[in-house]
Structure 1
Amino acid sequence: MSMLTPPGMGGKYRITGDAYPRMRRPRRRRRIVVAALAAVVALGLAGWGTLQLIDVFGGGGGDARARTAAGPACKPRKAAVTAVHVPLKPAQITVNVYNATPRSGLAKSTADELKKRGFAIGKVGNAPAAYDKKVPGPGLLIGAPAAGQNALPVLRTQLKGASLKNDTRPTADVDLVIGTAFKSLTAPKDATAALTALAKPAPAPSGKC
């Protein structure tokens, strides 16, 4: 009996020979494992190479990858400047001053102050019946349609809160009708600042890109 046969066993259970059988893993499974590892390594190298190409052609660094993920950068647009008519100078504007309030002397005192500020003065007196005691705000500025682009905006810098109105007059003069809420003309310093801003309008916003 061979020394490999356990005690008490024999017959068909008898083991012959003097060495244990060697158990080997099938070669096919080994080849599958090796092929899987090679595929993983190849994919890793391909991904690393792609990132390197992005860095080279995108400017390099993590910022390039961030820009690629976020999409193309937004290019700022140039600010659009709104076209406006060049305002007239006060000396080029003739103002008729009318008092539509029960208070006396407002037309003359207001006309004198406008004259000091460089405006030409036309007629001065009480307001016509169409406006007498019918102007609730600080004042009403009236002129031809063309005056709405130059003379009226300039005169409005002298009386904050005044309303504008167009009529069909053929002349270039404008009216300042003093309303019941009138207290005084705009302070000279503030009026000058408003007149300067009117001559140099700010660019219009271009909006989001």
Structure 2
Amino acid sequence: MGGQYRITGDKYPRMRPPRRRGRLVFAVVASAAVLGLIGWGTLQLIDVFTGGDKRVSAATRADCRTAAHPATAETRVSPRPGEITVNVYNATARTGLAKQTADELKKRGFKIGAVGNASKDFDKKVKGAGVLLGPAAALDTTLPVLTAQLTGAERRTDAARKGGDLDLIIGDGYKSLTQRAAADLAVAKLTSPDRTADAPKKKGC
């Protein structure tokens, strides 16, 4: 110092390293993490001993109630045979098929409209078992019910068609209607308001 300065007094500044706040922050974060893990583990133990894994959330319970009561679900139910009018036409060279088929459909509960030979658009031109024709709205309503009676028939819709009647046009491949027991079972599934039995149950229900 060259002797120009003199230290007086009996107190001297303490020379110590600065506090390291990084260690303090780390310790606080680590403590919080440990406490969180302890709390989470405690909750898991409570769930194990109280059956917490069997509890269902409110949303899941609502879904289960909807599945259990299909009236609240958006389920499309087809009309019953008694609500469907069928016209039966014969497009083959065999006689009597239209009346015979119409009589059988009547026994199965359908209303019968016109019975006779097919129009020139279909006469001798249907190679399969038959053609089921209806308005566009019938595709997912009445046509499936009639299809259950003749499972090999082709389904068609006509957007310009008026009314709700259906046409059953018998083709060259026709042998007979579907066995009644099988047809009735298919119709029962289509017309039942409870069609959730075949659907997979939701997890937690």
**TM bracket, shorter-chain basis:** 0.5 to 0.7
Matched, 1:171 2:163: yes
Give the one of 157, 165, 183 matched to 2:175: 183
Instruction: Classify the secondary structure of the residue corresponding to 1:149.
Output: coil
Contact 1:54 1:60 in 2 (8 A): no
Per the alignment, residue 202 of structure 1 pairs with: 196
Per the alignment, residue 44 of structure 2 pairs with: 58
Instruction: Classify the secondary structure of the residue corresponding to 2:156.
Output: strand
**5+ residue gaps, structure 2:** 1-33, 50-56
**Superposition deviation, residue 141 in structure 1:** 0.8
The correspondence of residues 122-161 of structure 1 with structure 2, limited to 5 A, is 122-161=113-152
Contact 2:80 2:191 in 1 (8 A): no
TM-score, normalised to structure 1's length?
0.59
Q: Deviations over 1:136-171 (max 9, x none)?
A: 221211111122232212111111122211122212
Contact 1:100 1:179 in 2 (8 A): yes
Quickly say closer, same or farther: Cα 1:88–1:50, change in 2 above 3 A: closer
**Superposition deviation, residue 187 in structure 1:** 1.1
Mapped to 2, the partners of 1:135 and 1:187 lie a distance apart of: 22
**5+ residue gaps, structure 1:** 1-46, 65-74
Instruction: Classify the secondary structure of the residue corresponding to 1:58.
Output: helix
The correspondence of residues 95-114 of structure 1 with structure 2, limited to 5 A, is 95-114=86-105
TM-score, normalised to structure 2's length?
0.61
Task: Tell which structure's C-alpha radius of gyration is larger.
Answer: 1
Q: Deviations over 1:62-96 (max 9, x none)?
A: x89xxxxxxxxxx9964777734332221221111
Equivalent AA in structure 1 for residue 43 of structure 2: F
Mapped to 2, the partners of 1:85 and 1:53 lie a distance apart of: 49
RMSD of aligned C-alpha atoms? 3.4
Per the alignment, residue 192 of structure 1 pairs with: 184
Mapped to 1, the partners of 2:157 and 2:46 lie a distance apart of: 64
Mapped to 2, the partners of 1:121 and 1:53 lie a distance apart of: 73
Quickly say closer, same or farther: Cα 1:133–1:83, change in 2 above 3 A: farther
Between the two proteins, the alignment pairs up a number of residues equal to 153
Equivalent AA in structure 2 for residue 59 of structure 1: L
Q: Deviations over 1:1-36 (max 9, x none)?
A: xxxxxxxxxxxxxxxxxxxxxxxxxxxxxxxxxxxx
Q: Deviations over 1:41-81 (max 9, x none)?
A: xxxxxx9x9997765332179x89xxxxxxxxxx9964777
Identity of aligned residues (%): 46
Equivalent AA in structure 2 for residue 202 of structure 1: T
Mapped to 2, the partners of 1:50 and 1:130 lie a distance apart of: 79
Per the alignment, residue 83 of structure 1 pairs with: 74
Quickly say closer, same or farther: Cα 1:54–1:145, change in 2 above 3 A: closer
